[in-house]
Amino acid sequence: MYDYIEGKLVEKNPTFVIIEVAQIGYFINISLNTYTSIPEQEHCRLYIHQIIREDAILFFGFYDKRERELFRQLISVSGIGANTARLILSALSPVDIYQAINEGNVFLLKSIKGIGIKSAQRIIVDLKGKIGREDEMEEIFRTESNTIHEESLSALVHLGFTKSAVDKVIRQILADNKDLTVEEVVKEALKRL
């Protein structure tokens, strides 16, 4: 699985970009949100989600990790495929999607073309409580300890703990003391779990 692709931005369209890396042009599907976020410069980095099907290998690119994580959560919902998730991310900002899900706003989600009332309800039922509140998400991505948070979270999830439980504990630890190393955060989290 690829984490990101970085290289020369050869072509930029509202639904896809082509990034050249080592003389290979990668066709990467993007959302409208990512399209507007990509600066008009020659060099570009996109965080990637790769889908391998029987007949194709598809790349979906995102300007930041938060949007990619939301995309992954959306495609985990039964009946929501990659193109539908990309459509949702093109119609609403990630912050609006988080708010709609956490507030149970079926009407906002069903206002997106291709999303009916049942799909909107399923998205809310499956993801409500599993994704962070908008203000929490903004705080996570603003803090300098984001790398420490992510590395600690990854380590504990690989040890077999659930992501949601670990995430809350790590946030509490980092709120109490932001100067801890990854090792110290993991050790403290193991004491609290």
Taking residues 133-146, report their average pLDDT.
46
Task: Count other Cβ atoms within 10 Å, centred on residue 135.
Answer: 11
The residue type of 169 is: V
Q: Which of 19, 46, 62 is the last residue of a domain?
A: 62
pLDDT of residue 191: 79
| Same structural domain, 84 and 113 | yes
| Same structural domain, 122 and 77 | yes
The CATH number of residue 179's host domain is 1.10.8.10
Residue 134: inside a domain, yes or no? Answer: no
The CATH number of residue 111's host domain is 1.10.150.20
**Residue whose token pair is 């908008």:** 134
Name the residue range of residue 87's domain.
Answer: 66-127
Q: Which residue has the higher pLDDT, 51 or 163?
A: 51
| Same structural domain, 103 and 119 | yes
User: What tokens does 88 get?
Assistant: 């949702």
Q: Which residue has the higher pLDDT, 136 or 34?
A: 34
Tell me if residue 59 falls in helix, strand or coil.
Answer: strand
